[in-house]
Amino acid sequence: MNAVEHAEEPDWWIYRGTGRPLAGASLADLLPPAPPWRAFDGGPLPARDVLPQDEGEADRRLGSEHRLAARHVDPHEIDMVNAALYLRRPLLVTGRPGSGKSSLAYRVARELRLGRVLRWPITSHTTLKGGLYSYDAIGRAQAAGARAAVDHRDGELEPPIGEYLRLGELGTVFLPRRQPRVLLIDELDKSEADLPNDLLSLFEDGEFTIPELVRMRSRTREVEVFTADPDATATIVDGRVRCAAFPFVVITSNGDRDFPPAFLRRCLRLEIKDPDIDQLSAMVAAHALDPNDAHRSRIIEEFVSRSEAYGGLPVDKLLEAVYLATSGAYHDEGESWPRLVDALWRQLNSMVP
């Protein structure tokens, strides 16, 4: 029996995991002050401090009507999300592939009305600098040369540096705001060995500098640059970016590697469990795929059975099967459906014949 099935939800929970957005208050109004060792004073805050809105990504990942009853949520998961919010610490989320680790960032952003999730996908070539910002020095030099060739005034025609500098997802999320942004660092275990250690200073200090802007601060203190949000810009002062509200950071890992102890000490850790039948039914319903039909219920039950036998199947494989069964494009004809389901749900490795 779920620990919260017959009990009141803890008073300290702000995020409750049910998918119902906060009403009547913002997260900034509900969170107590940060611990003294996790308080940040970045600024200036933007004149119009409105979080960029999600452009349908949450609906695509979660469905348009994602709701769970209180008895269906995992209280340990909700505890750890709220602890990360209160302590202003990153949350390292582990679990098998397809178990919903990345979705957690979108659930938190939607329920707490924190706007668009900034997703930083990790590869073996990802670097800290690339996540913070990029600077097109060659493009700027070429533009300056082209202007000089036309106007013959070399020193006066250098394009503004901000037109060639763009903050990455990691850099954008640390811009000063009243409310925290949500950052998803997806599949950190794909990174080079040094990246987790490279993140330590950023997570501890909540700030970084842009050397190209620091060098010119005696001439130009404020520079407007592009950000990772569509069509958005931000003003950087003295080449320094420092958060005012530490972002809610979800770091996902499939457990393929061990992380350095110093990195683990700076994170809270959560292992995502496989969803049960009730949670799977809610996910199906969230994507407008009615789980109440007897045939669809059988699909969910069979998926759970297959998943246990195979050691885990991605949840999106269930959604694909239910969609084919309900879209009207597929018509069940004898042995066709079992063959199709077997192909869809075959474990994604060479160990299954």
Rounded CA separation 221/213 (Å): 8
Query: Taking 90 as the threshold, does the pLDDT of residue 288 lie above it?
Result: no
Nearest Cα neighbor of 253 from 93, 54, 52 is 93
The DSSP bridge partners found for residue 241 are 208
Extract the tokens encoding 161: 């540096």
Question: Among 79, 99, 81, 101, which residue's Cα sits nearest to residue 90?
Answer: 81
Q: What percent of the chain has pLDDT over 70?
A: 89
Please determine, for residue 229, whether its predicted confidence score (pLDDT) is greater than 90: yes
Q: Tell me: pLDDT of 89 over 70.
A: yes
pLDDT category at 76 given cuts 50, 70, 90 is very high
- Residue 309 has a pLDDT of 79
**pLDDT score recorded for residue 340:** 81
Average pLDDT over residues 182-206: 96
- pLDDT band for position 330 (cuts 50, 70, 90): low
Helix, strand or coil for residue 19? coil
Q: Is the model's pLDDT at 71 over the cut of 70?
A: yes
Two tokens at 106? 């979108």
What pLDDT score does 152 carry? 57
Q: Say which residue, 328 or 110, is predicted with more confidence.
A: 110
* Residue predicted with more confidence, 322 or 259: 259
Contact status, residue 246 vs residue 182, Cβ threshold 8 Å: no
Q: What's the mean pLDDT in 66-72?
A: 73
233-237 vs 222-226, strand pairing mode: antiparallel
- Model confidence at 104, in pLDDT bands (50, 70, 90)? very high
Higher pLDDT, 2 or 25: 25
How does pLDDT run across 16-67, given as a tens digit for each residue?
998 889 988 899 999 999 999 999 999 999 988 899 998 888 888 888 766 7
347 vs 139, more confident: 139
Ranking 258-262, 322-326, 345-349 by mean pLDDT, the lowest is 345-349
pLDDT in tens, 105-157: 999 999 999 999 999 999 999 999 999 999 999 999 888 888 777 765 555 56
Whether 185 contacts 123, CB under 8 Å: no
pLDDT at 165 over 50: yes
What does the pLDDT read at residue 353? Answer: 44
Least confident interval from 43-52, 71-80, 237-246, 332-341: 332-341
What is the Cα–Cα distance from 339 to 324, expressed in whole angstroms? 13
Instruction: Pick the more confident residue, 103 or 329.
Output: 103
Does residue 1 have a pLDDT over 50? no
pLDDT of amino acid 352: 44
* Two structure tokens written together for 288: 């407008």
Comparison of pLDDT for 292 and 170, the residue scoring more: 170
* Global pTM exceeds 0.85: yes
User: Which percentage of the chain shows pLDDT scores above 90?
Assistant: 55
What is the sign, positive or negative, of the torsion defined by CA atoms of 315, 321, 323, 325? negative
Mean pLDDT, all residues of the chain: 87
